[in-house]
Amino acid sequence: MAIADPPTPLSFPPLTYAKLSPGPFLHAHLTSTPPLRPNTRAPSAFRPLTTHTGSLTHAHGSAVVRIGDTAVVCGVRAEVLRAEDVANYRPTLGAASTTAGENDNDAISDEGGSEKDTRATKQDTATMAALGLLVPNVELQTGCSPAHLPGSAPSALAQSLAHRVVTLLHSTSLVPLAQLRIWHTPAPAPAVSSQPQASVHTDAPAAATAEQDDTAQQPEVKAFWVLYIDLLFLSLDGTPFDAAWAAVLAALADTALPRAWWDADRGAVVCSPLVAEAIPLVLRGCPVVGTFGVFEGAAQAGGREGMGNGGEDGGGGAWILADPDDFEEGLCAETVTVVVDGEEGRVLRVEKSGGGVVGVGEMRACAEMVRGRGREWLDVLGRGREG
């Protein structure tokens, strides 16, 4: 009589467990010693950032950024907006922070030194927002993630990302308005000879003429550069805003604007075709973005006991995960985004949605982790910044 072989134990690969029971699957990894996420990262570890600039030859600036499996292409193209085409435009609005004869680069070289400079920067930012000089556009390529299939309706994620990008551009005053102005100094008016007249007011017309000539020779803003910032997601695997902002930073740092001037005879702005004469765009600082997701293990694991509070556990069976991927984002009901100045370490902006796990102490810990991330961004982006 033949002896039957013992039954093979039923087993599944890890990916199958992750699809069948994602919450307990992530919880089992975080409660291990040491705690590791399914992607083998520690809860506080970020994915590496890689960039490649100058990828698009027909753009004024471009960059390809990759964070893990999230890949974004960003292209910056500049177009001229004539001041006379702006409704209700007042010339004094464009010349608020740059005086006659002052070089644009000198106008932005002393940043944040006094209250007057701060007011001027805020006024310039308000002018840029009113004129719409920074126009981001985000597109999620079909097939970049399982949620974006062919034939599906456009998602609200692209519009949300574009709004967050332009809001951060304005709140951080990253792009100086002085570099987006196109100035023109009118030629002095020809001298007009007049016959001397016997009058006690002989010198008055001459003084008035001199005053008119001085007024006519004052520089004036004839046009502005409008920067169209186009973002295309090739692959999306979590933290889309972090990748989008890194791509914007890299592309703007790679941007060079053509030398432009106002041609009075043509009544139009003329640009030099020489690449050597292009003027690199100098940015203010390097805002660094870090996103965190809060995984509440008690809720995801069916209320089972025995969840530790050590390490990156936020307390009460919750873990704060830095730079969550797409799988982890689907399990996190609470998210926190912290923006820190990569050079000075100041917290510039905090965004929080959902949940109530993250308090003041956890927020400070997140900001400290983003500061450490900022040093990596500065090394990778490697660019000249405004001194």
Specify the pLDDT at position 97: 39
Q: So what's the pLDDT on residue 49?
A: 95
Q: Which residues of the chain have pLDDT under 70?
A: 1-4, 7-10, 12, 91-116, 154, 189-217, 298-316, 383-387
Q: How far apart are CA 145 and CA 95, in angstroms?
A: 46
| Structure confidence at residue 111 (pLDDT) | 42
- pLDDT on residue 110: 43
DSSP 102-170: --HHHHTSS-SSSHHHHHHHHHHHHHHHHHT-EEEEEEE-TTSSTTS-TTPPPPHHHHHHHHHHHHHHH
Residue 140: count other Cβ atoms within 10 Å of its Cβ.
20
Confidence (pLDDT) at 315 = 46
How, if at all, do strands 134-140 and 181-184 pair? unpaired
pLDDT the model gives residue 246: 96
What phi and psi values does residue 215 have, to the nearest 5 degrees? -65, -40
| Residue 164: predicted pLDDT | 96
- Is the distance from CB of 161 to CB of 244 less than 8 angstroms? yes
Q: In the 8-state DSSP scheme, what is residue 295?
A: E
Q: CA 92 to CA 98: how far, in whole Å?
A: 10
The pLDDT value recorded for residue 18 is 78
d(CA 18, CA 26): 8
What is the pLDDT at residue 190? 63
pTM: 0.81
Tell me, what's the pLDDT at 86?
Answer: 86
Structure tokens at 14: 């890890």
CB count in 10 Å sphere of residue 155: 12
